[in-house]
A and B are shown apart, each in its own frame.
Chain A
Amino acid sequence: MMKTELNTQPDLIAAVETSPFQADLLQHVPDAVIITDLDFNINSWNNAAETIYGWQAHEVIGKRLGNIVSTTFPHNHQEAVITHLFNVGNWQGQVIQKRRNGQEIHISASVSLVKDSNDHSVGVIIINRPLAKRNTEAVEIKTLTREVDRLNKEIKAISYSVSHDLRAPLRAISGFAQVITQRHWADLNGETQHFLSNIIEASNHLDQLINDLLTYARLGHRVIQPRSVDLADLLDHIILTLSEEIEKTDAKIDLPDTLCTLQTDPFLMTQILTNVIENAIIYHRPNLKPHIIISCQTEPEQVVIGIADNGLGIPSEYHHKIFDIFQRLHHHDTYDGNGIGLCLVKKALDLLSGHISIESVEGNGSIFWIMLPHAD
């Protein structure tokens, strides 16, 4: 016999337990087996139910199930579930219930009407299995989402503060060094002039670093704004902004006769192409003018933009590292750069669901392939 038959309806229990064997089985299955009358007053509550919910059978018998486990139905459709149960005879689904200590548990529930020998509904049998893993995962996802939100807010606050506060002292250091240069240069000896120039140069470098880091941080919470972007116009604009570097190195940039129009975010695309082209200009071989060839191919799945240069090339052991932040392969004194550019490119491409790859041999130029899926 089932352990708990206080205040129960003998007919209902009898309808479920047609033999002592069945009664024993129900008592010892690992799922919570709960038998209620048609108003969901509890008649029977097995061992597993005691373990899962933390209530002893004698504490819950005769009470309404809803008051004990406070069930939350999917989309809060409790009425729909009950209607389905009484029309069809059963219902399966996932619900959230509460343990005695208030802790929520995700439950896979199977609910059936119990009929007597005359096929009249006399009660309800509920078989509930805790979804322990799912529950843990859901809680983890919630916790992680909260953590991500918190970190995002923190990054926003830090970049806001960097934007305002870090620049002011830098401006003072550089500004007063420049005032000395403008007003007192002739009074300084060669060594002092050299030190002063170093202060100004380092300040410029730090300013550029702050700007790039802020751009990188801002990308993270940028809302993508795709629109029709004519690649030819975009490249013209980029080449114009790089005109100083192009003139300095006497670089040659070849564009194909026809370039496609992309459905993409123009700001991110500008960041991507500017950084890759600028690198191709900066990292040129000594005594060899940079020559950059840009190509564009439309494939069924994606658009592939190639940027090939005749520059220094990148040893294969660094191919996987160059897209990480602050990775530099060259000394500041030889080549400008702060190790953020390609990292920014990769982040921007991630946001556009695209990717980048490199073909390069040290001393023999590089080709960067930028792949962008077609917009839906």
Chain B
Amino acid sequence: MKPAIILLIDDNHMDIELVLLAIAGLEVNYEVQTAHSGYEALDYLFGRAKFADRSRFPLPDIVLLDLKMPGLDGHEVLRRIKTTPGLKRLPVIIFTSSKEDIDRANCYDSGANSYVVKPLLLEELQTIMKQIETYWLDLNIGPPTMP
């Protein structure tokens, strides 16, 4: 079976590196694609620019989305995903430093499917990355394939 695709959208390259290091030691049945800004994320999701080749950059099964990014931030990327007919059913997990009420409220209002705070401990990060697979890819029944 083809591994699932998680699109990790984060402007902080160290956070991306830590996620990749965390899953390197795990047995997970997914691949992580990365986008380093809100703009890159939309290019990926719309199959544009350097992500035009869908065979190399397939639509993800899950999006892991950071909120605070320069320019086009996570809130805006989320709104774009949730208002685009071909993308709106895509499960989006917010993955951020912030526990602020206002962020949580805005994200759920915009249609976020889950909200996870980035942990300090590597072991916790590994647990989260494993739990994402267990819940979102194994247990959860995703939306039908989009047209």
Contacts and interface: CB of A to CB of B under 8 A. Distances in A.
Contacts of A203: 120
Given A179-B122, A203-B120, A168 B97 contact: yes
Contacts of A179: 18, 21, 122
Given A172-B15, A172-B18, A175-B14, A167 B118 contact: yes
A103 to B, nearest CB: 40
A176 B25 contact: no
Interface string B77-107: 0000000000000000000111110100000
A170 interface: yes
B98 A164 contact: yes
Interface in B22-52: 25
A212 interface: no
A160 interface: yes
A355 B25 CA distance: 51
Interface in A207-253: 207, 214
Interface residues of B, number: 20
A163 B14 contact: no
B100 A178 contact: no
Contacts of B12: 168, 172
Nearest to A167: B97
B120 A204 contact: yes
A175 B125 contact: yes
B68 interface: yes
A168 B15 contact: yes
Given A175-B18, A179-B21, A163 B100 contact: yes
Contact of B120 (A163, A165, A170): A170
A175 B121 CA distance: 7
A172 B14 contact: yes
B67 interface: yes
Interface string B122-137: 1101000000000000
A211 B3 CA distance: 37
A214 B100 CA distance: 9
B120 A174 contact: yes
Given A171-B15, A171-B18, A176-B18, A164 B120 contact: no
Interface in A332-346: none
Nearest to B122: A178
Contacts of A204: 120-121
Interface of A: 159-160, 163-165, 167-168, 170-172, 174-176, 178-179, 182, 203-204, 207, 214
Interface of B: 12, 14-15, 18, 21, 25, 67-68, 96-100, 102, 118, 120-123, 125
22 contacts: A160-B98, A160-B100, A164-B98, A165-B68, A167-B97, A168-B12, A168-B97, A171-B14, A171-B15, A171-B18, A171-B120, A172-B12, A172-B15, A172-B18, A175-B18, A175-B122, A176-B14, A179-B21, A179-B122, A204-B121, A207-B120, A214-B99
